Amino acid sequence: MVLVDDVLTTGSTLNAVAQAVFDSGARIVSYVTFGRARSAAD
């Protein structure tokens, strides 16, 4: 399964979805994001 997210901020959404997919029986989950939110250190 491939998950796609438009902007990665903390990664918590992708991690939660990936965990749900693993819990449903997936063996491999990959994800792609197209941007990253700026952090305070940027």
**DSSP tag of 40:** T
pLDDT tens, residue order, the chain (42 aa): 777 777 778 888 888 988 999 999 999 988 888 887 777 776
* Type of residue numbered 15: N
pLDDT at residue 26, rounded to an integer: 92
Question: Where are the chain's structural domains?
Answer: 2-33
d(CA 38, CA 24): 33
pLDDT at residue 21, rounded to an integer: 92
Q: pTM of the prediction?
A: 0.65
* C-alpha distances out from residue 40 to 17, 24, 37, Å: 26, 36, 10
